Structure 1
Amino acid sequence: MLCALGVAALLGACSDSDSVRNVGRDEYTSQSGRDRVRGRLTGQDDGVVLFGTSRNSSAAADAGAPSGGAGLGVNAYLWRATLDTLSFMPLASADPFGGVIITDWYSPPGATAERFKATAYVMGRQLRSDGVRVSVFRQVRQGNNWTDALVTPATAAELEDRVLARARELRSQNTGS
């Protein structure tokens, strides 16, 4: 029974309804959308490099490092700011390679009949205003079952604004020291 409810909640969260989605489909399928994303993963020192590999294969070869590794990562300020901003919710998973942070369900104190879940996408190595996207999901309790409910689009936008403000704060602290 619990498994069936989990599957139903998962399928409900994947709904294709315009009222549930925060992002339009044409943003990912149009040529202009691809052009906007193409320039984000450029720059030598604009993100986190994992496992000490260099993004520049000639620099890695000059340093005597193997050139077969890929230096995947996301912007350190956006990543840390996203984790800080969503820290009030329990963390389900965090993937620094793909830039995805998924929280578990969270019920605010005093509101046991509703719960929230968030998924954040850090979308590149540069600190840009469009470098983070947050999707928020909400469910309300009806009897013994949780059913999907609408989320105000301003909720996700407010979380994104808080992430960006925190990222700017982290960057200014880092450059000031």
Structure 2
Amino acid sequence: MVNRFRATTLAFGIASVTFLAGCGDVSPSDSAYRPNDPRYVDETQPDNSVFGSNGLIGLFGGGSKKDAQGAQGIGVNTYLWRASLDTVSFMPLTSADPFGGVIITDWYTPPETPNDRFKLNVYILDRQLRADGIKATVFRQSHAPDGRWVDATVDPKTATDLENAILTRARQLRVNTAQQSS
């Protein structure tokens, strides 16, 4: 009876240690965007099959295909996605969804204007690299004399300038990819 109790306790102990060993400490940098991370490069073409166009083989890493944009697997245009992340990289990210094409930043206070802070929402709307495939929204708050942050107006040109900067970077990425593949 004692041997059975010891064996059960030992088995439970080993299972517990194994389980806890899998629970690692996750630091904020683990979830940071890395431009060369293969998780951000996958297929963009829609598939009508539950398992995709490559069937079960695609689930285990085999047989990927590239579309005409040079992008793979995320739900939006890869060049727009990477250009958006590059362009807003100076701001802290709150959320970045490569499948839905949404990037939301946290509030950022530029060193030049400590009484203003900005927040961005970037939406990638298309799988093609097109001017109307990106939409940016800029929010601004000013520091009130009583210490609160209050909403302030933003020049509409600011969002347009941000969209143009993203499109310019996306075109650069596309040209660089085309030059590397030839």
Pairwise same-fold verdict (TM > 0.5): yes
Post-superposition offset of 1:56: 5.5
> More deviation in 146-155 or 101-110?
101-110
Post-superposition offset of 1:155: 0.1
3-state SS of paired residue (1:170): helix
Post-superposition offset of 1:85: 0.5
Unaligned runs of 5+ in 2: 1-39, 60-72
Post-superposition offset of 1:161: 0.2
> More deviation in 155-164 or 119-128?
119-128
Q: 4+ residue stretches of structure 1 with deviation over 2 A? A: 47-50, 52-61, 63-66
Post-superposition offset of 1:65: 5.2
Q: 1:50-129 maps to which residues of 2 (within 5 A)? A: 55=47, 57=49, 59-61=53-55, 73-129=75-131
2: CA distance between counterparts of 1:165 and 1:72? 21
Larger Rg: 2
Matching residue of 1:22: none
Contact 1:54 1:60 in 2 (8 A): no
2: CA distance between counterparts of 1:123 and 1:54? 15
Unaligned runs of 5+ in 1: 1-46
Post-superposition offset of 1:49: 3.3
CA distance 1:84–1:64, change in 2 (3 Å): closer
CA distance 1:108–1:64, change in 2 (3 Å): closer
Matching residue of 2:171: 168
Aligned length: 125
State percent identity of aligned pairs.
Answer: 52
1:71-125 CA deviation, whole Å, 9 max, x = no partner?
6511100000000011111111101111100001011113111100000001121
* RMSD, aligned CA: 2.5
1: CA distance between counterparts of 2:159 and 2:103? 14
CA distance 1:65–1:109, change in 2 (3 Å): closer
3-state SS of paired residue (2:131): coil
Contact 1:102 1:118 in 2 (8 A): yes
- The one-letter amino acid paired with 2:54 is A
3-state SS of paired residue (1:130): helix
Post-superposition offset of 1:64: 5.3
2: CA distance between counterparts of 1:144 and 1:151? 21
